[in-house]
Homo-oligomer: A and B are copies of this chain.
Amino acid sequence: MTDTRSYHHGDLRVSLIREALDVARSSGPDAIGVRELARAVGVSPNAAYRHFAGRDEIIRAAANAAQGELARGIRASVARMPDDLSAPDASVQRLRLIGLGYIAFARAEPGWFTLAFTTVDDGATERIVTLDDEVVEPFQVLLDALDAMVAVGVLSPERRAHAEWPCWASVHGFADIVARGPLREQPDAVVDALAAHVVDTVIAGIIG
């Protein structure tokens, strides 16, 4: 925490982002402030402007980091997959675990989850965004899992088309309900059961 190096900090950019994650974790993205971060890191407020154009850019960077954490959470969940499954079963189980990991992350780290989904408009109005522009780490994991299901024959190419949206939507929606909505205060057992039900229902819907 206390770095004895004076004046030149070492890696202020990284420290600020790390601190932003810390703040968001406990108080949500809105609590991230330039002065507060600088204070926590032990640097004058304006030093931050050496590394970021302004507050929004810090938040964007932190949001990116939060997406990385989310991806980590999902990967950790996937890692819990039993290794004695047939290839088709494994591909479905993988999709399940991705969904459950996403939800578990939102529940365990609501602040990070909210941050990961935060977008601050940069001045660029009118820009046309292709979907692919915004493909972000956790989403890519989902796409790959669905492709794998096709490769292994569990999912027909027709049913594969756009299947990422029902998957993402339902899991994201439940995660949001769990992180910020009415299920926030429910006991884990209830939430876990409902989460499994949500995930299994969508999978049934896409597989047909």
Binding site for B on A (CB under 8 A): 30, 117, 119, 127-129, 131, 134, 136, 162-163, 165-166, 168-177, 180-182, 184-186, 194, 197-198, 201-206, 208
Q: Which residues of B contact A202 (CB under 8 A)?
A: 166, 170, 201-202, 205
Closest chain B residue, CB of each to CB of A125: B185
A194 touches B162 (CB 8 A): yes
Closest chain B residue, CB of each to CB of A163: B201
User: Which of the residues B129, B165, B181 comes within 8 Å of A185, measured between beta carbons?
Assistant: B129
A165 touches B129 (CB 8 A): no
Interface of A: prevailing SS:
helix
The 23 listed contacts between A and B (C-beta, < 8 Å) are A117-B180, A119-B181, A119-B182, A129-B185, A131-B186, A136-B182, A162-B194, A162-B197, A165-B194, A165-B197, A168-B173, A169-B170, A169-B173, A170-B173, A170-B198, A170-B202, A172-B173, A173-B174, A173-B175, A173-B176, A176-B176, A201-B206, A205-B206
State in angstroms the CA–CA spacing of A91 and B41 once bound together. Answer: 58
Q: Which 4 A-B pairs have the closest CB atoms?
A: A173-B173, A205-B205, A170-B170, A169-B174
Whole-angstrom distance from the CB of A194 to the nearest CB of chain B?
5
State in angstroms the CA–CA spacing of A174 and B169 once bound together. Answer: 5
A131 touches B174 (CB 8 A): no
Q: Which residues of B contact A128 (CB under 8 A)?
A: 185
Q: Which residues of B contact A119 (CB under 8 A)?
A: 180-182, 184
Q: Which residues of B contact A117 (CB under 8 A)?
A: 176, 180-181
State in angstroms the CA–CA spacing of A181 and B162 once bound together. Answer: 17
